[in-house]
């Protein structure tokens, strides 16, 4: 007799839609004109010319009715707003950090932290660079060193935790420079530039042990910490029955502080914070924030923004929310895989990353394959994506281009914004561009700004 197999049941979003924003449809001719005017840079398009916007998951979240109601509770006092205390309580409750300073967004926190902890010539190891994080480290006089495992640089490698840190690389750095030159290790959850790849709890715990022995701090880039927790629950032994909330709190417990862009996981459109356990660092930061952001009880935010953030943090660690969030990303990724599109695997947390080197093997990296592929996808369907390759990587201190192993186009999925039908339309567009890939020509950069060039650089067709 055959054993009865339980029928797999479908999942659906744990919310219903109360308000809609109408989208504008454009013709191919209009889109061609728009992308030429934008210098083949999807950051320079007007959002009203975009049909489905996968540029970023940053600040593009749909807030819940509770968060919108929270906006009405904004206490817009200059100092000591009650929303600040609500946010402070949420950071303590869900993340466990002792002190918190709000900032206008993630890079505000990165600026303050880097200025306080980094001295000229210091070395800052991290699990792959992130654009704004590395820039602030460099502006403060530090040198970023990549200590992610080698597997992370290979888009086809199926390692379940490609965000892990190679402890041998960290040990070698300590040996070479001495621990005094390493003020902290920056640990990202999940690793954006690797394709939204998670770090395991086991790896983080081992890193804690190593850094403790050498008196080195761990600073978490906790921008997508709840998405990282989802993968730990799915893939790491011993965590399958723990809640996302418990895994998030445990993750934070192995670190000394964190920078947060709340525009991602925390489900708001603007906001961030710096969290820290060390009282001296907190006192310095709460003084410095006055110079760059605003008083330490608002840090560049309105009271209503802090209220929405406090509520969003609670919603972000719900298991139902995270199952649907990552479920949608997986749905799109599986569709693209079935169609033979080369993507980074395993599929990551906040988007699908197309491997432009394998998609357009006839283009050299300095012909900007990912940049041109993002432009072609926009022309095909009005779907806006972004480059995460040589343009994003920028130049080193000698002015030479970095040539990252990964040359990717990111299809970033905003949280709670699009439906499964949107995912189908996106997949069909990518498939169409893939069928015509041989006709795609490269680009030449004609304008390059000094900082974070991917935001504002301009190109023309070769």
List, by residue number, the catalytic residues: 78, 130-131, 221, 264, 388, 454
Which segments of 182-264 are extended strands (E)?
184-188, 217-221, 257-261
User: Judged by CB under 6 A, how many residues of this single chain contact ligand PM9?
Assistant: 16
Query: Is 453 a binder of ligand PM9 (CB under 6 A)?
Result: no
Query: Is 192 a binder of ligand PM9 (CB under 6 A)?
Result: yes
Long-range residue pairs from 212-216, CB within 8 A, at least 24 positions apart, any chain: 214/174, 214/179, 214/182, 215/179, 216/174, 216/179, 216/182, 216/183, 216/184, 216/185
Query: Is 107 a binder of ligand PM9 (CB under 6 A)?
Result: yes
Query: Is 105 a binder of ligand PM9 (CB under 6 A)?
Result: yes
Residue number with CB closer to ligand PM9 (26 or 107): 107
Which listed residue (40, 94, 130, 418) binds ligand PM9 by CB under 6 A? 130
Judge residue 443's burial from the number of C-beta atoms within 10 Å of its C-beta, 0-12 exposed, 13-18 middle, 19 or more buried. Answer: buried
The CB-of-191 to ligand PM9 minimum distance in angstroms stands at 8
Which listed residue (56, 111, 197, 286) binds ligand PM9 by CB under 6 A? 56
Query: Is 189 a binder of ligand PM9 (CB under 6 A)?
Result: no
Distance CA 168, CA 295 (A): 42
Residues 139-168 that bind ligand PM9 (CB under 6 A): none
10 Å Cβ neighbour count for 161?
25
Distance CA 386, CA 40 (A): 11
The CB-of-193 to ligand PM9 minimum distance in angstroms stands at 8
Contact flags string 256-285 toward ligand PM9, x per CB under 6 A:
-----x-x--------x-------------
Query: Is 328 a binder of ligand PM9 (CB under 6 A)?
Result: no
Distance CA 304, CA 83 (A): 7
Distance CA 110, CA 274 (A): 8
Query: Is 195 a binder of ligand PM9 (CB under 6 A)?
Result: no
Q: What is the crossing angle of helices 319-338 and 303-316, to 10°?
A: 70
Positions touching ligand PM9 (CB under 6 A) are 56, 58, 105-107, 130-133, 188, 192, 221, 223, 261, 263, 272
């Amino acid at each position: 007799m055959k054993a009865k197999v339980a029928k797999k049941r479908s999942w659906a979003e744990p919310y219903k839609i109360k308000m809609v924003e109408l989208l504008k449809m454009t013709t191919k001719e209009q889109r061609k004109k728009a992308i030429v005017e934008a210098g083949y840079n999807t950051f320079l398009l007007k959002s009203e010319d975009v049909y489905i916007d996968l540029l970023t998951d940053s600040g593009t979240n749909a807030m819940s009715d509770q968060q919108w109601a929270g906006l009405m509770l904004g206490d817009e006092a200059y100092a000591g707003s009650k929303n600040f205390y609500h946010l402070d309580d949420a950071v303590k409750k869900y993340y466990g950090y002792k002190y918190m300073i709000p900032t206008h967004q993630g890079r505000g926190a990165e600026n303050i932290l880097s200025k306080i902890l980094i001295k000229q010539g210091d070395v800052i190891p991290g699990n792959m660079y992130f654009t704004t994080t590395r820039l602030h480290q460099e502006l403060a006089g530090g040198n970023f060193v990549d200590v992610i495992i080698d597997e992370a640089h290979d888009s086809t490698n199926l390692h379940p935790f490609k965000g892990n840190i190679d402890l041998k690389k960290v040990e070698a750095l300590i040996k070479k420079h001495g621990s005094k030159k390493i003020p902290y290790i920056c640990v990202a959850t999940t690793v954006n530039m690797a394709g939204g790849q998670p770090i395991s709890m086991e790896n983080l715990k081992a890193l804690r042990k190593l850094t403790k022995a050498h008196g080195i701090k761990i600073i978490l880039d906790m921008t997508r910490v709840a998405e990282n927790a989802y993968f730990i629950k799915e893939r790491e032994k011993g965590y399958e029955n723990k809640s996302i909330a418990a895994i998030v709190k445990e993750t934070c417990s192995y670190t000394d502080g964190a920078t947060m862009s709340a525009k991602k996981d925390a489900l708001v459109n603007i906001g961030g914070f710096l969290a820290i356990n060390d009282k001296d660092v907190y006192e310095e930061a709460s003084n410095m924030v006055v110079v760059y952001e605003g008083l330490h009880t608002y840090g560049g935010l309105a009271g209503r923004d802090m209220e929405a953030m406090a509520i969003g943090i609670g919603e972000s660690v719900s298991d139902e929310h995270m199952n649907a969030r990552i479920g949608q990303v997986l749905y799109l990724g599986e569709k693209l895989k079935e169609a033979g599109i080369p993507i980074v695997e395993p599929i990551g947390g906040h988007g699908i990353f197309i491997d432009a080197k394998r998609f357009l093997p006839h283009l050299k990296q300095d012909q900007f394959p990912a940049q041109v592929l993002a432009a072609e996808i926009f022309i095909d369907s009005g779907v806006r994506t972004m480059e995460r390759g040589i343009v994003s990587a920028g130049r080193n201190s000698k002015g030479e281009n970095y040539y990252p192993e990964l040359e990717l186009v990111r299809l970033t999925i905003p949280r709670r914004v699009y439906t499964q039908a949107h995912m189908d339309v996106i997949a069909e567009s990518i498939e169409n561009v893939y069928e015509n890939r041989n006709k795609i020509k490269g680009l030449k950069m004609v304008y390059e700004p000094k900082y974070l060039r991917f935001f504002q650089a301009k190109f023309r067709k070769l």
